[in-house]
Amino acid sequence: MIVTRQKPFEVILKELEDSKSVFLVGCGDCATACQTGGEDQVKEMTEKLSGEGKEVTGSVIMETGCHELDLKKEFRAHKDELGKSGAVLVMSCGAGCQAAREGTEKPVFPANDTLFLGNVLRVGQFEEKCRLCGDCLLDITGGICPVARCHKGILNGPCGGTNEGKCEVDPEKDCAWTLIYQQLEKEGKLDKMRAYQPPKNWNTVLKPGRLVLEREKGGGKGE
Ligand code: SF4
Ligand code: SF4
């Protein structure tokens, strides 16, 4: 789940200062779960923008906001409403906003800030547990990621600051390395704690990421 947070309304208004009319794009997937781009939020945004004298020419809520082909299809289906608008306000993540960029010549603006890839703990509660590092080491850390869940991202932990299982940087949070220790202890694999981990090779996540599946072989090729 891509976690987003809506920008303050004054910021959105500033983005739209040169546009008298706007077309809204929501997302039925992550942004709906984050309450930043679902049906209710698109409706609310329509009312707020109308209250500021902006004409909302139409809106669409994508099943998945970052699906470029679907989005182009929807834009074609909403050609008239889109044609009347001076701008497109995208209420999904940055990927969705750029998907919209590919589908129209109109100026495109983000309504949200995109924060992280988050696990859903319960409705409305998200936590980052993976930083998409491109070289997963969960096999040696008991399935708990120090890259994302240790504040210092250290690979040979814990640091000297762990205190009764909590992190020195944020005492509200469990120390990832204490969790890793406890898990490996349960598995009888504490020897993995003693093995030195070399510095991470960040070349595996050279940006921009790209993956093209090789369909005939059923495998995938990442770059
Ligand atoms: S090591 Fe952590 S950040 Fe890297 S892929 Fe695995 S879970 Fe994600
Ligand atoms: S206390 Fe634990 S989670 Fe916090 S920075 Fe140190 S090793 Fe990482």
Could you read off the pLDDT of 137-158 as tens digits, one per residue?
A: 999 999 999 999 999 999 998 9
Average pLDDT over residues 112-134: 96
Res 218: pLDDT? 55
Is residue 131 scored above 60 in pLDDT?
A: yes
CATH code of domain 2-116: 3.40.50.2300
* Ligand 1 pocket by Cβ (under 6 Å): 130-133, 136-138, 145, 147-148
**For the segment 196-215, what is each residue's pLDDT rounded down to a tens digit?**
999 998 888 888 888 899 87
Residue nearest to atom 7 of ligand 1 (CA): 130
Token digits for 198? 């070399």
Cα of 146 to ligand 1 centre, how many Å? 8
For atom 5 of ligand 1, the residue with the nearest CA is 136
Q: Residue 168: is its pLDDT beyond 90?
A: yes
Closest ligand 2 atom to 162 CA? 1
What is the rounded distance in angstroms from the CA atom of residue 151 to the CA atom of residue 154?
8
Confidence of residue 160 (pLDDT cuts 50, 70, 90): very high
What is the reported pLDDT for 182?
97
Give mean pLDDT, residues 18-42: 97
**Can you point out the beta strands (E) in the chain?**
2-6, 21-27, 55-62, 87-91, 108-110, 112-122, 125-128, 211-214, 219-222
Residues 6+ apart with CB under 8 A from 127: 118, 119, 121
Across-strand partners of 133? none
Question: Long-range pairs for 137-145 at CB < 8 Å and ≥24 separation?
Answer: 137/197, 140/192, 140/195, 140/197, 141/180, 141/184, 141/192, 142/179, 142/180, 142/183, 142/184, 142/187, 142/189, 142/192, 143/183, 144/176, 144/179, 144/180, 144/183, 145/176
Protein residue with least CA distance to atom 8, ligand 1: 130
Per-domain boundaries in the chain:
2-116, 141-205
Q: What is the pTM of this model?
A: 0.91
Q: Which of 145, 159, 183 to mutate to test the pocket of ligand 2 (most atoms within 8 A of CB)?
A: 159
Predicted local distance difference test score (pLDDT) of residue 222 = 55
Strand order in the sheet with 108-110: 55-62, 21-27, 87-91, 108-110
Which residue has its alpha carbon closest to ligand 2 atom 7?
158
- Determine the distance separating the centroid of ligand 1 and the alpha carbon of 60, expressed in angstroms: 34
Question: Is residue 104 pLDDT above 60, yes or no?
Answer: yes
Distance 134 CA to ligand 2 centre (A): 22
